[in-house]
Amino acid sequence: MSTTSFRAPAKRSPASMPEYQRQNFATPGADASARLSDSAAGIYERGADQTGKQLMALGGAMQQAAKVGDALYVDYQTTKAREAFNSYRREAMQKKAELANLQGGLALDEKTGVQARLSQWQSEARERLVKDLGKPAANLFTAAAEDVDAQLGAWATQKWQSEERTYRNQQTEATLALNTDEMLTDPMNAEAVKRGFKAIKSGYKELADLNGWSDEYAQSQINSAAQKAFTTMIRAQIDSEQLGNAQELIGRYGHALGGMRGPLEATLKAKGRELEARARATQERADTVQAANLGAGLFETYGDDAIKVQSVLEEKVKDPVQRARVTQSYLSNASLHERMKTQAEERDKAASYDNAISQTDSILAGQESEQKKAALLSGVLVGVADPATRKKIEEYQNFKINGTEAPVDKNVLAEAQAYAAQPGVRPDMVTNRYADKLPPSALGKAVKIARDEATKQSEKLMQDEITDSLVDDFGYTRSQATAGYRVILSRMTGLVDPAQRLETARQLAKKISVETKAWFSGEEIPAYSLGSNLEYQLDSDIEIPTSLIPMIDEALEAKGKPITDQNRKEVYILFLRGKENG
């Protein structure tokens, strides 16, 4: 005997519902031998009844198990669908953020724009995520993904529309700018300006249609663009000083200028006044230059003949203002000539005085007889042309011979010494100013001050030039240049004339800078360190430049030391070794 029941499948298919199979079960004790006895039959009946109950219970249990299995299977499929949907939604957010960065033509491109990229991603992502899902899960995922696609599609459409509007706005605005520039390049061509402005109006109407502007707002934009363009056009003419063009444009397009017409007209008038003033100034400068040249030419031609000059001016220069300028130029040239002549005479007198003084000192220091000296001194006096200068030389000779001279006014001497110490005052200037106010010995003191000051200034200028040249032209440091300059000074003994000293210093500066070996020594010692190098022996009989003696004497006086040749040499040697404060 057998009975029928169901059993759960051993292996489920992920893509289908479970299928249950029928199965026959054998009933124990119901064979032919069992029917031989009643007892056996009774046992069979009781056994079969018990077995049937057990099988019924088993069948119920199996049905309950099948229901539990179905619930677990459904829950499994739902979980898989949810996982795929979450991945899809996460990728959708990332794709949206990526596509949001596309702008303008990149966002609108049919093959690579926002919508094309989104559609491509949707197809690829759905196919990839559904691949491992069963049919129930795939259906659940598809239903959920459609909602994401709807939202993303709406966003993409809005994004495309926004970018398309922005892109068209930009294109139109660029066209407007180009049309405006083209109109401004030929502002005086009325037809070209008319065509340009017509294109501008068309462009703003396109913007109005694209952005939904009201008619009033569109007209206000056109008016603003016209005002701006014509204002720029007129201002450019004013700035380039084409005032006639600017005035014509204001008259032609004044209706489009609005509130800018008044300021532009004011600017035009101000520029006109500026140009008039500039023209007057230019003309005045030209007239002044012409007057100066004519005045100089008249003086060069007619000299001091003022009557002749006046006659020429009245004949050739009709404008009274210009005639006055020429007259002033002529007088200035005459005055300058007179001053230069006077200064030349004064320098000649001073030179004659200094030369006669030197001759007198040389004659008196000579070994000739007194009679011979008297004759020579008389010859010195004869050689002085200016009577006043000759008289001063005679007084000086009497002072040197007899030891007597006029008393010295201490106030005048102090004044002369102060004047002589001023920068730029030459010895001849002191002589000319105070020769008739001071006796020869006092005048000599004041002249010496001027000569010493001039020497100091000359030496300072020479030092600055040479040290700067060593630094700038030959790469010395400042301290090396100073030391090198002292070495140069040590090789310039016996030179007195400032011009000769400067030229010699320039030559020596080049020499110490270009020779491969140390200058003045046969060893590899840098030239700028010779003065402080013990191997470089300074000559004990070194000659001090005459031009430096006044400065050395000042240093000795400041230290309270007596002015002797030995002390001078010691100070000079310290100076050359860079130890002037030692």
Q: Which amino acid is at 1?
A: M
Q: Which of 508, 533, 558 is the last residue of a domain?
A: 533
Distance CA 48, CA 62 (A): 20
Q: What is the pLDDT of residue 215?
A: 84
Contact of 512 with 487, CB cutoff 8 Å: yes
pLDDT given for residue 435 in this prediction:
78
**The two three-digit tokens of residue 103, written as one number:** 């702008």
Q: Give residue-wise pLDDT tens across range 151-185.
A: 777 787 776 667 667 776 666 777 777 777 777 77
Which among 364, 296, 282 has a CA at the least distance from the CA of 325? 296
Residue 262 lies in a domain: no
Q: Is residue 453 part of a domain?
A: yes
Answer yes or no: is 41 within a domain. yes
Q: What is the pLDDT of residue 220?
A: 86
For 430-474, write each residue's pLDDT tens digit. Answer: 888 887 788 888 888 888 888 888 888 888 888 898 888 888 877
Residue 279: band (very low, low, confident or very high) from pLDDT cuts 50, 70, 90: very high
Q: Which residues pair with residue 26 across a beta bridge?
A: 2
User: CA 397 → CA 349, 427, 443, distances in Å?
Assistant: 17, 20, 14
| DSSP conformation letters of 396-446 | HHHHHHHS--PPP-HHHHHHHHHHHTSTT--HHHHHHHHTTTS-HHHHHHH
Give the best-scoring range by mean pLDDT among 46-50, 89-93, 214-218.
214-218
Q: How much is the pLDDT for 46? A: 58
39-43, 251-255, 405-409, 478-482 — most confident range: 251-255
The model's pLDDT over 513-555, given as tens digits with 9 standing for 90+, comes to: 655 444 444 444 454 554 454 444 555 556 677 767 888 888 8
Helix (H) or strand (E) holding 170: helix 135-185
DSSP string, 102-114: --THHHH-TTTSH
Supply φ then ψ for residue 295, to 5 degrees: -65, -40
- Give the per-residue pLDDT at 50: 53
* Average pLDDT value for residue range 484-501: 80
Residue 34 lies inside a defined structural domain of this protein: yes
Q: Structurally, how many domains does the chain consist of?
A: 2
Alpha-carbon dihedral 58, 63, 64, 66, rounded to 10 degrees? 120
Distance CA 37, CA 46 (A): 14
Cβ atoms of 295 and 327 closer than 8 Å: yes
Mean pLDDT of the chain: 75
Neighbours of 208 (CB within 10 A): 17
**Confidence class of residue 2 from pLDDT cuts 50, 70 and 90?**
very low
Query: Which structural domain range is residue 46 located in?
Result: 1-164
Contacts of 172 (CB under 8 A, 6+ apart): 203, 206, 207, 210
Beta bridge partner(s), residue 24: 4
pLDDT of 286-336, one tens digit each?
Answer: 888 888 888 888 878 888 777 888 888 888 888 888 888 888 887 887 777
Rounded to an integer, what distance in angstroms lies between the CA atom of residue 212 and that of residue 161? 14
**Which residue from 473, 464, 490 is spatially nearest to 575, judged by alpha carbons?**
490
573 within a domain of the structure (yes/no): no
Residue 527 lies in a domain: yes
State both tokens at 452: 């010493």
Q: For residue 494, what pLDDT band results from cuts at 50, 70 and 90? A: confident
Please check whether residue 480 is in contact with residue 470, taking contact to mean a CB–CB distance below 8 angstroms.
yes
Q: Please state, for a pLDDT cut of 70, what percent of the chain lies above it.
A: 76
Q: What is the pLDDT of residue 66?
A: 44
Please name which of 171, 173, 163 lies closest in space to residue 103, comparing C-alpha atoms. Answer: 163
Q: For residue range 549-575, what is the model confidence (pLDDT) as tens digits?
A: 888 888 888 888 888 888 888 887 777
Q: Is residue 416 part of a domain?
A: yes
Alpha carbon distance 429, 346 (integer Å): 8
Average pLDDT for 208-217 = 84
Average of per-residue pLDDT across 240-265: 89
Please report whether residue 502 resides in a domain: yes
Least Cα distance to 198 among 180, 181, 224, 171 occurs for: 180
| Contact (CB, 8 A) for 250 and 187 | no
Query: Which residue among 497, 512, 533 closes a domain?
Result: 533
Q: How confident is the model at residue 14 (pLDDT cuts 50, 70, 90)?
A: very low
- Cβ-contact 1, 48 below 8 angstroms: yes
Specify which residues 19 forms β-bridges with. none
